[in-house]
Structure 1
Amino acid sequence: MSEPGPDRTDADLGVLTGVRSGKRSFYPEYVRSTERVSRAVEALDGISRALVRTAEGPRALVEAVLRAASEHLQADWLLLAVADGALRAARPRFVLNVGGRIVDDRADVPGEVLEHLDVLRTRPWELDAWPHRDGLVRATMTLDDEPVGGIVAKPAPGLEVASTDLAILRVLGNQAAVALHNSFLFHAAAQLRGRTERLSEAAERQARDLAARSAELAQTQERLVEVMQRQVLDDERHRIARELHDSVAQSVLGAGMTIELCRAELAAMGGPAARIADQLAPAKDLTRQAIERLRASIYALHHSSAETPGPLPVLLERLSTVHGLGELSVQVRVAGSPVALPPQAEQSIVRMAGEALFNAAAHGKARRALVRLQYRPDGSAVVISVSDDGDGDPAQIRRALRLTKAADLSGRHRGLANMLARAEELAGELTIRRSRMGGIRLQVRIPLPVPAEWEASDDG
Structure 2
Amino acid sequence: MSRRDDEIGDPVDLGALTGLRTGKRSFYPAYVRSNERLERAVEALDGISHALVRRAEGPRALVEAVVRAAAEHLQARWLLFAIADGTLWAARPRFLLLTDNRLIDDVAHLPAEAREQLDVARMRPWEIATQPQVPGLVRAPMALDGEPVGGIVAQPCPDIEVASTDLAVMRVLANQAAVALYNSYLFQDATHLRGRTEQLSAAAAKQARDLAARNAELAETQQRLFAAMQRQALDDERRRIARELHDSVTQYVLSAGMTIEVCRAELATMGTAAAEIADKLSPAKRLTRCAVERLRGAIYALHHSSDEPPAPLPVMLARLSTVHLPSELTVDVQVLGTPTPLSPEAEHSIVRITGEALFNAASHGHACRAIVRLVYEADRVLLTISDDGTGDPVQLRRRMRLSREAASDGRHRGLANMLARADELGGTMTILRARVGGIMLRVEIPLPVAVRGGETDGHP
Asked if structure 2 preserves the Cα contact closer than 8 Å seen for 1:87 and 1:148, the reply is yes
Shift of 1:200: 4.5
Shift in alpha-carbon separation, 1:299–1:131, aligned structure 2, 3 A: farther
If the length of structure 2 is used for normalisation, what is the TM-score? 0.59
Asked if structure 1 preserves the Cα contact closer than 8 Å seen for 2:234 and 2:306, the reply is no
Asked if structure 2 preserves the Cα contact closer than 8 Å seen for 1:135 and 1:155, the reply is yes
Identify unmatched segments of 5+ residues in structure 1: 309-460
Shift of 1:221: 4.3
Shift of 1:15: 7.5
Question: Sequence identity of aligned pairs in percent?
Answer: 71
Aligned to 2:78: 77
Aligned to 2:253: 252
Aligned to 2:243: 242
Shift of 1:56: 2.0
Note the alpha carbon deviations across 1:304-349, whole angstroms, 9 max, x for none.
20399xxxxxxxxxxxxxxxxxxxxxxxxxxxxxxxxxxxxxxxxx
Aligned to 2:329: none
The equivalences for 1:377-416 within 5 A come to none
The separation in 1 between residues aligned to 2:299 and 2:255, in whole angstroms, is 18
The equivalences for 1:344-383 within 5 A come to none
- Residue identity matched to 1:73: L
Aligned to 2:187: 186
Shift of 1:44: 0.6
Per the alignment, in what secondary structure is the counterpart of residue 81 of structure 1? strand
- Per mean C-alpha deviation after superposition, the further-off stretch among 204-213 and 252-261 is 204-213
Shift of 1:75: 1.2
- Residue identity matched to 1:291: V
Asked if structure 2 preserves the Cα contact closer than 8 Å seen for 1:69 and 1:172, the reply is yes
Shift of 1:155: 1.1
Aligned to 1:396: none
The separation in 2 between residues aligned to 1:140 and 1:14, in whole angstroms, is 28
Asked if structure 2 preserves the Cα contact closer than 8 Å seen for 1:80 and 1:152, the reply is yes
The separation in 2 between residues aligned to 1:61 and 1:29, in whole angstroms, is 36
Per the alignment, in what secondary structure is the counterpart of residue 161 of structure 1? coil
The separation in 1 between residues aligned to 2:17 and 2:143, in whole angstroms, is 35
Aligned to 2:49: 48
Asked if structure 2 preserves the Cα contact closer than 8 Å seen for 1:74 and 1:155, the reply is yes
Shift of 1:191: 3.2
Note the alpha carbon deviations across 1:125-177, whole angstroms, 9 max, x for none.
21235564422111110111111101101112311211111110011011111
Aligned to 2:365: none
Aligned to 1:315: none
If the length of structure 1 is used for normalisation, what is the TM-score? 0.59
Aligned to 1:281: 282
The separation in 1 between residues aligned to 2:61 and 2:26, in whole angstroms, is 47
Instruction: Say yes or no: does 1:303 pair with 2:290.
Output: no
Per the alignment, in what secondary structure is the counterpart of residue 140 of structure 1? strand
- Residue identity matched to 2:137: L
Per the alignment, in what secondary structure is the counterpart of residue 148 of structure 1? strand
Aligned to 2:402: none
Shift of 1:202: 4.6
Asked if structure 2 preserves the Cα contact closer than 8 Å seen for 1:79 and 1:153, the reply is yes
The separation in 2 between residues aligned to 1:191 and 1:224, in whole angstroms, is 48
Instruction: Say yes or no: does 1:31 pair with 2:20.
Output: no
Per the alignment, in what secondary structure is the counterpart of residue 78 of structure 1? strand
Aligned to 1:294: 295
The separation in 2 between residues aligned to 1:85 and 1:16, in whole angstroms, is 43
Aligned to 1:105: 106
Shift of 1:43: 0.7
The separation in 1 between residues aligned to 2:166 and 2:13, in whole angstroms, is 26
The separation in 2 between residues aligned to 1:257 and 1:116, in whole angstroms, is 125
Aligned to 2:61: 60
Per the alignment, in what secondary structure is the counterpart of residue 139 of structure 2? strand
- Residue identity matched to 2:52: L
Asked if structure 1 preserves the Cα contact closer than 8 Å seen for 2:82 and 2:94, the reply is yes
Shift of 1:224: 3.8
The separation in 1 between residues aligned to 2:38 and 2:132, in whole angstroms, is 20
The equivalences for 1:162-177 within 5 A come to 162-177=163-178
The separation in 2 between residues aligned to 1:36 and 1:193, in whole angstroms, is 45
The separation in 1 between residues aligned to 2:131 and 2:248, in whole angstroms, is 120
- Residue identity matched to 2:186: L
Aligned to 1:441: none
- Residue identity matched to 1:173: A
The separation in 1 between residues aligned to 2:211 and 2:41, in whole angstroms, is 64
The separation in 1 between residues aligned to 2:26 and 2:79, in whole angstroms, is 37
- Residue identity matched to 1:66: V
Per the alignment, in what secondary structure is the counterpart of residue 254 of structure 2? helix
The separation in 2 between residues aligned to 1:168 and 1:101, in whole angstroms, is 23
- Residue identity matched to 2:128: L
- Residue identity matched to 1:101: R
Asked if structure 1 preserves the Cα contact closer than 8 Å seen for 2:254 and 2:292, the reply is yes
Note the alpha carbon deviations across 1:378-406, whole angstroms, 9 max, x for none.
xxxxxxxxxxxxxxxxxxxxxxxxxxxxx
- Per mean C-alpha deviation after superposition, the further-off stretch among 13-22 and 240-249 is 13-22
The equivalences for 1:193-342 within 5 A come to 193-207=194-208, 209-210=210-211, 212-269=213-270, 271-306=272-307
The separation in 2 between residues aligned to 1:307 and 1:257, in whole angstroms, is 39
Note the alpha carbon deviations across 1:420-455, whole angstroms, 9 max, x for none.
xxxxxxxxxxxxxxxxxxxxxxxxxxxxxxxxxxxx
The separation in 2 between residues aligned to 1:263 and 1:129, in whole angstroms, is 138
The separation in 2 between residues aligned to 1:283 and 1:183, in whole angstroms, is 108
The separation in 1 between residues aligned to 2:77 and 2:122, in whole angstroms, is 21
Aligned to 2:96: 95
Per the alignment, in what secondary structure is the counterpart of residue 300 of structure 1? helix
| Bigger CA radius of gyration | 1
Per the alignment, in what secondary structure is the counterpart of residue 76 of structure 1? strand
Note the alpha carbon deviations across 1:82-129, whole angstroms, 9 max, x for none.
111122222211111111111111112122211111111111121235
Count of matched residue pairs: 301
The separation in 2 between residues aligned to 1:244 and 1:128, in whole angstroms, is 109
Shift in alpha-carbon separation, 1:81–1:12, aligned structure 2, 3 A: closer
Aligned to 2:117: 116
Instruction: Say yes or no: does 1:141 pair with 2:136.
Output: no
The separation in 1 between residues aligned to 2:81 and 2:13, in whole angstroms, is 42
Shift of 1:243: 0.9
- Residue identity matched to 2:245: L
Aligned to 2:158: 157
- Per mean C-alpha deviation after superposition, the further-off stretch among 78-87 and 198-207 is 198-207
Per the alignment, in what secondary structure is the counterpart of residue 301 of structure 2? helix
The separation in 2 between residues aligned to 1:168 and 1:307, in whole angstroms, is 92
Asked if structure 2 preserves the Cα contact closer than 8 Å seen for 1:130 and 1:138, the reply is no
Shift in alpha-carbon separation, 1:30–1:280, aligned structure 2, 3 A: same
Identify unmatched segments of 5+ residues in structure 2: 6-11, 310-460
- Residue identity matched to 1:165: D
- Per mean C-alpha deviation after superposition, the further-off stretch among 56-65 and 203-212 is 203-212
Asked if structure 2 preserves the Cα contact closer than 8 Å seen for 1:131 and 1:138, the reply is no
